[in-house]
């Protein structure tokens, strides 16, 4: 529930808003900060793609002359580098603000949105996330009623099924 703390929430939001300034290939779309997580759509306007060195247009991964490990290292403007840099910036800001207990979960969940219809569905999901917080099993104040989904993934799976 780190994001309930305004001292932590401030850099979470500020650093998210600043992503396009540091990665000009990124456009922020719908996003929301919840008490225990962040959900958002990052639009990547580059062929770098979502994976480390995963070419999206059939181009082979290339070794750059001054970087002998570039075939192994994540390429800039890819989702892993953007997320890693974002998390590092937020963590540094929290440490500077005296919140040394702050920590991210390991990894992150990603989903490639392939068309406008899917993006609209994900946007709705993100907008509705705060409305569903009272049912979230990770919410310590949740009613935890029998009708509550086991987790947000149940709802996400419903959204994906509806698109197919």
pLDDT tens digits, 18-32: 999 999 899 999 999
15 and 84 in a single domain? The answer is yes
Bridge partners of 77? none
pTM for this entry: 0.74
Of 76, 91, 110, which one is at a domain's C-terminal end? 110
106 and 116 in a single domain? The answer is no
The residue segments making up the domain with residue 141 are 112-164
- Please say if the pLDDT value at position 151 is more than 50: yes
Segment 34-81, tens digit of pLDDT: 999 999 999 998 765 555 445 555 555 555 566 555 565 667 788 889
149 and 80 in a single domain? The answer is no
104 and 131 in a single domain? The answer is no
Q: Strands 38-44, 26-33: parallel, antiparallel or unpaired by DSSP?
A: antiparallel
104 and 26 in a single domain? The answer is yes
Contact present, 122 and 111 (Cβ < 8 Å): yes
Bridge partners of 26? 44
């Amino acid at each position: 529930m780190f994001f309930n703390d305004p001292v932590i929430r401030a850099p979470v939001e500020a650093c998210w808003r600043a992503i396009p300034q540091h990665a000009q290939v990124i456009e922020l779309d719908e996003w929301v900060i919840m008490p225990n997580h962040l959900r958002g759509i990052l639009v990547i306007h580059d062929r770098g793609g979502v994976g480390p060195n995963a070419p999206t247009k059939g181009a082979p991964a290339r070794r750059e002359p001054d970087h002998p490990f570039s075939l192994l290292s994540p390429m800039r403007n890819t989702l892993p580098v953007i997320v890693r840099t974002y998390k590092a910036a937020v963590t540094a800001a929290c440490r500077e603000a005296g919140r040394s207990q702050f920590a991210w979960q390991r990894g992150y969940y990603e989903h490639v949105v392939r068309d406008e219809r899917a993006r609209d569905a994900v946007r709705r999901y993100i907008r509705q996330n705060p409305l569903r917080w009272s049912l979230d099993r990770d919410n310590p104040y949740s009613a935890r009623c029998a009708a509550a989904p086991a987790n947000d993934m149940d709802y996400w799976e419903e959204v994906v099924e509806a698109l197919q």
